Amino acid sequence: MKGNSRNLLLWVLVFAGILFFIQSVRSGRSLEEELAYSSFKRLVNEGKIVDLRVREDLIRGKYKTEDGKARGFRVVPMNDPRLVEDLEKAGVERFSGEIERGWINAILMNALWIGLFFFLWWFIIIRQMQGGGKQAMAFGRSRAKLQTGKKQKVTFADVAGCDEAKEELQEIIEFLKDPAKFQKLGGKIPKGVLLFGAPGTGKTLLAKAVAGEANVPFFSSSGSDFVEMFVGVGAARVRDLFEQGRKSAPCLLFVDEIDAVGRHRFAGIGGGHDEREQTLNQLLVEMDGFDTKEGVILIAATNRPDVLDPALLRPGRFDRQIVVTMPDLKGREEILRVHAKNIKLGPGIDLNVIARRTAGFVGADLANLINEAALLAARRDKQWVEMKELEEAIDRVIAGPERKSRMISDKEKEIIAFHEAGHALVAKILPGTDPVHKVSIIPRGPALGYTLQLPTEDRYLTTKSEILNRLCVLMGGRCAEQLIFNDVTTGAQDDLAKVSEMAQKMVCEWGMSERMGPITYRKKEAEIFLGRDIARERVYSDQTAQAIDEEVKSIVASCQSKVKDILTQNRSKLEMLAKTLVEKENLDGDDIDRIAKGLPLDKPVSDMKSSEVTPGEKGSSPEGAPSPAPTPA
């Protein structure tokens, strides 16, 4: 808006300058002195006339003043046949005649100024209405961006960790390259492909790779680009997008975050957004109307397929729905190799180790991890990235940077140490839990300390005993505080929230309660969709709700009692682990194994109360995908 105002002011000044120039020319003409014919004849007889131009209706020229300067004059002529003889006798240097100008000549002389006026009016008024990002005269045009092969092309070589999704999309590529191969057998290629999955799994990158592999035009837009405050704009933009696609066929149309325009119709309280529904109706018509022989394929991406309108998902529109899942161990290693192509990695780098320590990471997380490691190495003036930077980057991505400047009192530091030692010791003693990789009491992000457990492999199923062991590990910090200090702190807030949530899922969703039976008392965990979920009633009675609460409380209390017995029987190991934590601040898996087995460490451990180590004096090299146990605030 500020740029438009400046442009408008500039052109107003230019227009004013032109008017000033025209006025100056006209005023220059008006400086000619009006003379009577008698005065003109006297000047002729005196020989003062310098230049003269005679017309039937006007005489113009210049004469010499007393100081010798030339001055313009104009005279209305009279019937004087001897004027030429008088001019010759007076020795006038230059005199001539002029043809009288008609009305056509007058129009031609002023056409320049008239044309200039209309040009400035068009430029200032019309162009300014269209410019400035407002598109006042072109609201109905699609805002999709055309990406051709001239730009840096993305191919399947740049996409890793989703081999199944690439195989599904390979058919689309083959059709765009050779449509006759499918058409001669009577087969029809899918009109639309819906990519859905967790944020950061690479849905948009997959769509770009399809266009790059097929080497066809790629129109990309967002679902929010279609909806405006003006009625009918969204539908017009949908029509324009498909029209552009038909002109550039074969091509791909990509709509990111299609849930912004493709949500359930009549799902909102009070009827819904009419303009968005008009846009969705037009999208449905266009997808059902264009022929696959035209070579126009629509690819859409969303994180919320559950809120899309069923008419959009039926065969004939989005025929193929592809789930882009979170990468497994092999996929994470491939993704790391793709993002590490332009990074200088030092000798001894094992990306398989990093992949094992990043369970639960998606492609965007792994890209951020590699970038953070490169920044850390550059900050330390290193020639390449080493394992230390990669391991520390894992903690930075998940828990945030170390807060070395945060001063913690010796008493709070002791509480934090016992809290984290409780988590680690219970995890080490109970069978079936993920191995403890690292324990730290250095503040990082919102946590004052954390315990990292690394899964040995990717798991897709979890048994009841494993879930109960996880509950026990989460309760280890709270029980350790109560056992040692005979009091509790606020540090277990996040632990208790996770315990409560997991215990409720055991009873209400997973059917792992003998008392409640194998019945689901709650719908699948998902975000509330306004108008569809908010009015649903509870499907069980108040007595059942009370029984659910009692069963959840019973599971948590049973785990708490089990953890208290474990820590009481291993109190000496708990104290040794906490004292070592206060001194070293970071313990790896080998150190924890030694203490859990009752073996002394190589370095003697000083008495806890005489320790004066403060957080931040020693660095840490985080390793693994964290399951951080929050500590006292």
For residues 161 and 601, the model is more confident at: 161
Residue 22: band (very low, low, confident or very high) from pLDDT cuts 50, 70, 90: low
- Cα–Cα distance measured from residue 367 to residue 347, given in angstroms and rounded to the nearest whole number: 20
Sole residue written with tokens 């899918």:
190
| H helical segments located in 532-588 | 542-569, 571-584
Known catalytic membership, residue 420: yes
3-state secondary structure 425-465: HHHHHCCCCCCEEEEECCCECCECCEEEECCCCCCCCCCHH
Q: Residue 229: its pLDDT value, please?
A: 61
Residues 72-117: tens digit of each pLDDT: 888 887 877 777 777 777 777 677 666 665 556 556 556 666 676 6
Q: Residue 500: its pLDDT value, please?
A: 94
Record the tokens describing residue 158, joined without a space: 């740049």
Q: Residue 3: its pLDDT value, please?
A: 52
Predicted confidence (pLDDT) at residue 461 exceeds the cutoff of 80: yes
DSSP sequence for 577-627? HHHHHHHHSEEEHHHHHHHHTTPPPSSPPPPGGG----TTSS-----S---
Sole residue written with tokens 């035209």:
294
Q: For the CA atoms of the chain, what is the radius of gyration?
A: 42
Predicted confidence (pLDDT) at residue 414 exceeds the cutoff of 80: yes
Residue at 70: amino acid letter: A
Beta strands 192-196 and 296-302, pairing class: parallel
Q: How many whole angstroms from its chain centre is CA 272?
A: 27
For residues 125 and 159, the model is more confident at: 159
**Interior angle at CA 420, CA 434 and CA 572, nearest 5:** 95
Residue 563: band (very low, low, confident or very high) from pLDDT cuts 50, 70, 90: very high
Residues 251-301: tens digit of each pLDDT: 888 888 888 888 887 655 444 456 777 888 888 888 876 555 567 888 899
Which DSSP state fits 323? E
Burial of 194 (0-12, 13-18, 19+ CB in 10 A): buried
Residue at 607: amino acid letter: D
Record the tokens describing residue 375, joined without a space: 């920044």
* Residues forming beta bridges with residue 194, ordered by sequence position: 300, 321
Q: Residue 176: its pLDDT value, please?
A: 77
Widest CA span in the chain: 141
Q: Residue 459: its pLDDT value, please?
A: 77
Residues 370-380: tens digit of each pLDDT: 999 999 999 98
Residue 227: band (very low, low, confident or very high) from pLDDT cuts 50, 70, 90: confident
* Contact assessment for residue 452 and residue 627, using Cβ atoms and an 8 Å cutoff: yes
Choosing from 372, 420, 583, 585, which is the catalytic residue? Answer: 420
Predicted confidence (pLDDT) at residue 533 exceeds the cutoff of 60: no
Q: Residue 610: its pLDDT value, please?
A: 34
* Contact assessment for residue 372 and residue 393, using Cβ atoms and an 8 Å cutoff: yes
Angle between helices 410-429 and 571-584 (to 10 degrees): 130
Q: Residue 620: its pLDDT value, please?
A: 31
Max avg pLDDT among 62-76, 539-553, 580-594:
539-553
CATH architecture label of 32-100: 2-Layer Sandwich (3.30)
Residue 225: band (very low, low, confident or very high) from pLDDT cuts 50, 70, 90: confident
Mean pLDDT, all residues of the chain:
77
Residues 105-120: tens digit of each pLDDT: 556 556 666 676 666 6
- Cα–Cα distance measured from residue 322 to residue 309, given in angstroms and rounded to the nearest whole number: 17
Residues 316-363: tens digit of each pLDDT: 888 888 888 888 888 899 999 988 888 888 888 888 888 888 888 888
* Residues forming beta bridges with residue 49, ordered by sequence position: 63
Residues 480-492: tens digit of each pLDDT: 999 999 999 888 8
* Contact assessment for residue 490 and residue 534, using Cβ atoms and an 8 Å cutoff: no
Q: Residue 454: its pLDDT value, please?
A: 76
For residues 29 and 20, the model is more confident at: 20
Return the closest-CA partner of residue 170 out of 150, 191, 156, 151. Answer: 156
First to last CA, the chain: 47
* Contact assessment for residue 441 and residue 417, using Cβ atoms and an 8 Å cutoff: yes
- Cα–Cα distance measured from residue 300 to residue 377, given in angstroms and rounded to the nearest whole number: 38
Beta strands 145-147 and 320-323, pairing class: unpaired
Sole residue written with tokens 């087969």:
187
For residues 436 and 404, the model is more confident at: 436
Which CA distances in Å does 601 have to 74, 423, 604, 617? 117, 20, 7, 21
- The mean-pLDDT minimum among 482-486, 509-513, 527-531 falls in 527-531
Q: What is the mean pLDDT of residues 493-522?
A: 90
Record the tokens describing residue 77, joined without a space: 């002529």
Predicted confidence (pLDDT) at residue 236 exceeds the cutoff of 90: no
Neighbours of 71 (CB within 10 A): 15
- The mean-pLDDT minimum among 251-255, 464-468, 538-542 falls in 538-542
Determine the topology of domain 329-398 in CATH.
Answer: Helicase, Ruva Protein; domain 3 (1.10.8)
Residue 502: band (very low, low, confident or very high) from pLDDT cuts 50, 70, 90: very high
User: Percent of the chain scored above 90 by pLDDT?
Assistant: 13
| Domain 145-323 CATH class label | alpha beta
Q: What is the mean pLDDT of residues 154-167?
A: 84
Q: Residue 408: its pLDDT value, please?
A: 78
- The mean-pLDDT minimum among 253-262, 288-297, 399-408, 526-535 falls in 526-535
Predicted confidence (pLDDT) at residue 626 exceeds the cutoff of 50: no
Record the tokens describing residue 592, joined without a space: 């924890």
User: Percent of the chain scored above 70 by pLDDT?
Assistant: 74
Return the closest-CA partner of residue 301 out of 335, 279, 283, 324. Answer: 324
Q: Residue 628: its pLDDT value, please?
A: 38
Domain residue spans of the chain: 1-28+116-134, 32-100, 145-323, 329-398, 410-610
Q: Can you say whether residue 257 is alpha, beta or left, with left for phi > 0 and alpha for psi between -120 and 50 degrees?
A: left
The CATH number of 410-610 is which of 3.40.50.1100, 3.10.290.10, 1.20.58.760, 3.40.50.200?
Answer: 1.20.58.760
Which DSSP state fits 174? H
Q: Residue 419: its pLDDT value, please?
A: 92
For residues 187 and 468, the model is more confident at: 468
